[in-house]
Chain A
Amino acid sequence: DQQVKQNSPSLSVQEGRISILNCDYTNSMFDYFLWYKKYPAEGPTFLISISSIKDKNEDGRFTVFLNKSAKHLSLHIVPSQPGDSAVYFCAASSTYNAGNNRKLIWGLGTSLAVNP
């Protein structure tokens, strides 16, 4: 059962426009959400995170929005650049694991293509 879902396998946008990547989750115990960017044959690179006590977090061109009632979060990239082309993963963690284990539960990723 997929607890973190990214329903769009791919997204294509024009350079300079906004990219919006979506993520839904089912486990109400998740309290911390992260977005990672990944290139083929490399490890994930941390982009931005948000705690469940907030509804928005911004870092430069990246903004993450959290709607707890809908169990939905989104990553906005403005303006999009060709270098943003990669696979983006949404991940979530919960405090309710033994030993303070903050293991991440991941979505399947969305492949973003930013066209010049």
Chain B
Amino acid sequence: DTGVSQDPRHKITKRGQNVTFRCDPISEHNRLYWYRQTLGQGPEFLTYFQNEAQLEKSRLLSDRFSAERPKGSFSTLEIQRTEQGDSAMYLCASSLGSGGAADTQYFGPGTRLTVL
């Protein structure tokens, strides 16, 4: 399977704990995106990487959130001191982009986070 993969698929944690999610993009895709989706809503943009550089973070990302993409391959999204409001589906997408041209993002299966 050469699609986008995410791990874990589900995570249940207690409020105040730290969690980390991993995303493996389609190989050779230079762009990687994280989104968050809550029930009844469309996905909302969180952050964007071009290769290893994090070029944009949404205002939705508080200081408790951090994302990395070392070596421009896989990416991790960490949430510190989780809150019940962090409960959502976290989606990762990758694309092969060039300059400002439009690209198609392909999504992983998502990580469902439940904070108790």
Binding site for B on A (CB under 8 A): 4, 31-32, 34, 36, 41-46, 49, 51, 89, 91, 93, 95, 97-109
Q: In the complex, how many residues of chain B place their beta carbon closer than 8 angstroms to a beta carbon of chain A?
A: 34
CB proximity of B57 to chain A, nearest CB, Å: 11
**A104 engages B105 (CB within 8 Å):** yes
B9 closest partner in A (C-beta): A41
Q: Is B43 an interface residue (CB 8 A)?
A: yes
In the complex, chain B residues 12-27 whose Cβ is within 8 Å of any chain A Cβ: none
**B55 engages A101 (CB within 8 Å):** yes
Per-position binary interface string of chain B over residues 11-54, scored 1 when its CB falls under 8 Å from any chain A CB and 0 otherwise = 00000000000000000000101010000111111001010010
Select B45's contact among A4, A31, A104, beta carbons within 8 Å: A104
How far, in whole Å, are A64 and B102 apart by their CA atoms in the complex?
Answer: 17
B103 neighbours in A (Cβ, 8 Å):
102
CB proximity of B63 to chain A, nearest CB, Å: 21
Select A100's contact among B33, B40, B93, B97, beta carbons within 8 Å: B97
Q: Is B85 an interface residue (CB 8 A)?
A: no
A9 closest partner in B (C-beta): B40
